Amino acid sequence: MASREQELSALPQASDPPRGRLSVLLGRLIRPYLHDEPHGPLPELLGRLIYPFLHGEPPKPQQPTGFYTDTTVCIGCKACEVACKQWNQLPSDGFNWSGNSYDNTNELSATTWRHVKFIEQFSHESPSVPASPDTEESESLLNRWLMMSDNCKHCVAAPCHQACPTGAIIQNEFQNIYIQADICNGCSCCIAACPFGVITRSELGGHSHKCTLCYDRQRDGLEPACAKACPTQSIHFGPIDELREQARKRVEQLHERGVPQAYLYGDVPGETYSEMHSFYLLVDRPSVYGLPDAPFNPWLHMMGDYVRSVAGGLAAIAVLLVVVFLLKP
């Protein structure tokens, strides 16, 4: 992890404000300690102290990009999982027998940024031939696999981004949500905030990690490793508007072909959640895929919670003041 962090920190970083003269000044002060071996504990300490306060110039905004994952064509080959691990140099999760179909990684984690889910929907009583989609019981009698390659949703108004107190989480120039590994201090606020259970704190180093939407590859004009490796084009990568257009056409096509359940999850903003830059074509309820049926952005409650919090404190102070004024000699 350490070498990867150094690589990441060597990249020019997009950053939150403030930036400007102070950053330039700090940068000059610290440069010798960043690029040469620090000469002794004091310069190293100084370097560590000043480094997080350096803010680079943000790159120019680019066309927003994202993923559209069509789960109906996923064959569960896990090529995306492997490609993600290889490109991002993520360690293996061991050979675990999860007892949950062909799933051996179980969840997204600090070391698994793509996770292929396997859902077996088989009725013991039903014949092996799928029932006609017209019949009422069609859903309960379907004998089918559902497979879905899951990853960070790159939410447009991302709770993890809103929560992060260090500014480690940024929305980069492609409007993807990216964790600056050299800034994160492992406070876990993003983990608590993510409604999809995506981010995890690593045991190695104690920092949080998740899908970067292959920021490094995108900067070099390459598509993300998972999309590149996917043999069925279940994972599409590209400009987000084009992906939405493409996905809507596919839903219409599926409806015409007798799959009326097909719909898009996360392509447009809902009442309680923003649109996502990684959205999915699903054919069953979101919860069947382990996704929240109605994701909720916790920040919608924040102002009200502050009001109640302040009111609780002010009421107590008022009581104290009244009693003091009434009883003081």
Partner 1 sequence: MHTDSRPQQASAEPLLPERGHEVGYENGPVTKVPGWHGLIAWDALLNGMATGLFLAAAVSELAAPAVFMRVAKVAYPVALVLLLVDLGLLVLDLGDPSRFHHMLRVFKPGSPMSLGTWCLTIFSLPLTAAAALSLLAELGWDFEWARLLAVVVGLLPGFASAAYKGVLLSTNAQPGWKDARWLGGYLTNSALVMGCGEFLVLSALMGQTQAIAILRTAFIVLLVLNVIPLGLLFANLRPIHAQLYTREQQWRVGALIAAGALIPLGLMLLKGSVLSISVAMIFLLFESWLVRAVYVKIPHTSPLEVRSGE
Span 99-128, contacts to partner 1 by CB under 8 A:
99-102, 106-107, 117, 119-124
CB of 26 to ligand SF4, least distance (A): 20
Asked if 16 touches partner 1 (CB under 8 A), the answer is yes
Number of residues this chain uses to bind partner 1 (CB under 8 A): 90
CB crowding 178-198: b at 16 or more within 10 Å, else e: bbbbbbbeebebbbebbbbeb
- Of 21, 28, 35, 328, which lies in the binding site for partner 1, with binding defined by CB under 8 A? 328
Asked if 152 touches ligand SF4 (CB under 6 A), the answer is yes
- Is residue 243 within 8 A of residue 66, CB to CB? The reply is yes
Count of alpha carbons within 13 Å of 14, Cβ hemisphere only? 19
Tokens of 16: 């939150």
* C-beta closer to partner 1: residue 198 or 225: 198
Dihedral sign computed on CA atoms, order 149, 153, 154, 159 = negative
Asked if 194 touches ligand SF4 (CB under 6 A), the answer is yes
- Of 14, 79, 169, 282, which lies in the binding site for ligand SF4, with binding defined by CB under 6 A? 169
* C-beta closer to ligand SF4: residue 142 or 169: 169
- Environment class of residue 228 by beta-carbon count within 10 Å: exposed (0-12), middle (13-18) or buried (19+)? middle
Instruction: Identify the helix (H) or strand (E) that includes residue 147.
Output: strand 144-150
**Binding piece for partner 1, criterion CB under 8 A, among 58-66, 182-190, 239-247, 253-261:** 182-190
Residues in touch with ligand SF4 (CB under 6 A): 152-155, 158-160, 163-164, 166, 168-169, 177, 179, 184-190, 194, 196, 198-199, 208, 210
